[in-house]
Amino acid sequence: MSATSPPLMSSGNSPHVKSQGSAKERAVAVERMQKEALAALPLNSLYIGLWIRSDPPVANDFHWAYYFHSRPLGGTKYHIRNLGSGWIVDHEPTNGIFGANFLCVLIEIATVPETKHGELDQIIRSYDANVNSIPGVTCRVWLLEVAQKLIDHGIIHCNSHLELGQECMAIGNQHMHGASINEQPRPVVKSRLCH
């Protein structure tokens, strides 16, 4: 699992921005780095994104989502959110996945041919009407249920959705402290289990 993103920059300590620079200069530099990282993602690539839930971060405690990079400067974030009384779907186009608050890491799991884009979207949305009927539903449980369907349909080439979940958890734990101090841009790691 090798990170493929450009050199990291923490919000106050960067080789790219003078430490005495203004907050505005740092913000501009971070935005530039995030745009460069987004432009460097291969088109038609599917990722599992992990977000830290607290600061300091807690091991094995992430928000899980899919990110499908379908345009040079954007794609779609697919995830579910807990409203206290149940879970709702919250799929949306985004042009700034690297600017998302508390993003920990993107884990590349597949390249999806254009002929399969519709099928990918349909499979990811297959639980939208009954997400709360998934036993023990959480964002991670939902994502892994969808991963099994994507494996079954040949979109993700992986032997086990459960092993993929374990790999992602380990990768998240490895990068959670960087997310906590806002290192930029956030890392992109290729799954070793998906081929």
pLDDT in the model for residue 2:
47
pLDDT in the model for residue 3:
52
Contact present, 145 and 79 (Cβ < 8 Å)? no
- Measured distance CA(96)–CA(85) in Å, rounded: 29
At 38-57, the pLDDT tens digits run 999 999 999 999 999 999 99
pLDDT in the model for residue 84:
87
Contacts (Cβ under 8 Å, ≥6 apart) of 90: 79, 80, 81
Contact present, 164 and 191 (Cβ < 8 Å)? yes
Q: What is the mean pLDDT of residues 173-183?
A: 96
Provide the CB-side half-sphere exposure for 149 (13 A, CA): 14
- DSSP class of residue 187? P
- Measured distance CA(38)–CA(83) in Å, rounded: 30
Checking if the pLDDT of 21 tops 80, the result is no
Q: CA 41, 46, 49: angle at the middle one, nearest 5?
A: 90
At 84-140, the pLDDT tens digits run 889 999 999 999 999 999 999 999 999 999 999 999 999 999 999 999 999 999 999
Q: Which residues pair with 107 in a beta bridge?
A: 48, 189
Checking if the pLDDT of 168 tops 60, the result is yes
Q: Give me the chain's average pLDDT, please.
A: 91
pTM over 0.85: yes
Q: What is the mean pLDDT of residues 52-75?
A: 97
Q: Which residue has the higher pLDDT, 70 or 11?
A: 70
Checking if the pLDDT of 8 tops 80, the result is no
% of the chain at pLDDT higher than 70: 90
